[in-house]
Structure 1
């Protein structure tokens, strides 16, 4: 497996990635104000049971301008540890369909590698209103095919910090993962992920999101920088709150073989 393919995989697995529709199933919030709940969803690791299905489309891979489809299944589950602390589990399991994204690598469909994060989160806000979470991130080699993963265990730190001020929510999610096997064909995973974001949620429970999902691959000295704009609306299906949205993204920087140009997101 080449360094380039490993970089592309890590780019898509460490965080969120693309025109799209986003759906979150939220339990236990039937009586919450829709606008307040929409603001809570601005937190990537909110103290809520949420089940996002995030579909992504990207193009511009290789000389043939090939395509990749990615669905991230991203359940988040909070657990109460004590009166002062919560433990929040966040899983990213990718389902992938891709064609020749690494030379003549062919068409592959299956499961990619999983990133499992655990965030320790204080129950009470800080005096300044900062919401923060910190913990470990684990890279699990669950790929069903060689071309869909890096064949490597990995681990590192992850953290989220954000402020909520009226209709505005802004902050950053970040992590870094080191591969456990420096001799693997993935050329020793060593990548940082940064997701600064700013959200605006008016009283009608619409949310307007602008973020970047930047990956720095230190193993081959490359950056991946897509910028995303997403609009979502919190609605109800029976007693279940669901958030649906749409957006687009543009790749400001990516490896020479792609992706590039515009991307799309369906969840």
Structure 2
């Protein structure tokens, strides 16, 4: 009888621990679906694209994009985010040519209400930082403009969108001015296990060159732990729906690792 009681107790506590782990994973997945959640995260997003342009080129872009929320009052948060691309490309500019290095970074700061029940939103500035290390990977222009995000979360679903518009205000005079719109609608469904299925569309409109680039990125994701480190993994295909003449890619894939630091 004592052995049965001990086994029942162990199974009960294992169930409690597993349920708590699932609750934690579900909550983390919900926050990760929200670009302005109060959660420190460091995503490494790798995009590999093939069959680009007339020379059948390829490009690998590793976006390092840490997100750090800061409480500025009891009613407002500021969520800072930077996207720093590390790029390697082959046969893009000419057959047999390779370029590698940093691309220009985009830094954003979203001011968002600390408590929002129905609609989560944030607005603020976006900065284009000309840190690119190769002439083909940088605009050599410093730019700025507004950015905004809004989303709704309900019953496992997250639906929303992010937008920014950047104009160049300084930089190399021999380079073309920048006037660029970026729009990113997104939708995600997360199960209680922390697994998720989602997609976003990345639409870039270059007003100066009158060109449009659109990527569709479906992903399958999961939240887990590596030791004590909470981590999210995501993977999926990339579909190039539109691109400047001669620059459209055939296909690609995205893999993401996000290191999480819950408060």
Choose which of 212, 215, 220 in structure 2 pairs with 1:231: 220
1:46 corresponds to: 37
- Which has a greater percent of helix? 2
Equivalent position to 1:89, from 80, 94, 109? 80
- Which residue, 191, 195, 198 being the options, matches 2:184? 195
User: Distance in 1 between the 2:191 and 2:225 partners?
Assistant: 17
CA RMSD, aligned part only?
A: 1.8
Shift of 1:60: 2.7
How many residues are paired up?
Answer: 236
Report the Cα offset of residue 183 of structure 1: 6.9
Deviations along 1:219-267, one digit per CA (max 9) or x if unpaired, are: 1111111111000000011222100111012111111122322111133
Match of 1:206 in 2: 195
1:68 aligns with 2:53: no
TM-score (norm 2): 0.85
Moved more, 36-45 or 255-264: 255-264
> Gaps (5+ residues) in structure 1?
1-29
The whole-number CA distance in structure 2 between the counterparts of 1:261 and 1:143 is 26
| Partner Cα separation in structure 1 for residue 33 and residue 129 of structure 2 | 26
Give distance in 2, aligned partners of 1:37 and 1:251.
30
Q: Which residue of 1 aligns with 2:253?
A: 264
Deviation, 1:210, is 1.4
Q: Which has the higher strand share?
A: 2
Distance in 1 between the 2:166 and 2:226 partners? 38
Secondary structure of 2:141's counterpart equals coil
Give the Cα separation in 2 of the matches to 1:259 and 1:206.
32
Following superposition, the deviation at residue 185 of structure 1 comes to: 4.1
Larger gyration radius, structure 1 or structure 2: 2
Partner Cα distance (1:233, 1:62) in 2? 34
Tell me if 1:79 matches 2:63: no
Query: Aligned equivalents of 2:41 and 2:23: distance in 1?
Result: 15
Alpha-carbon contact 1:60-1:257 (below 8 Å) kept: no
Instruction: Tell me the CA shift for residue 146 of structure 1.
Output: 1.1
Contact 1:60–1:258, Cα closer than 8 Å, also in 2: no
Normalised to the residue count of structure 1, the TM-score between the two structures is 0.84
Q: Displacement, 1:32?
A: 6.0
SS of 1:117's equivalent? Answer: strand
Structure 1 equivalent of residue 230 of structure 2 = 241
Aligned equivalent of 2:146, options 148, 157, 160: 157
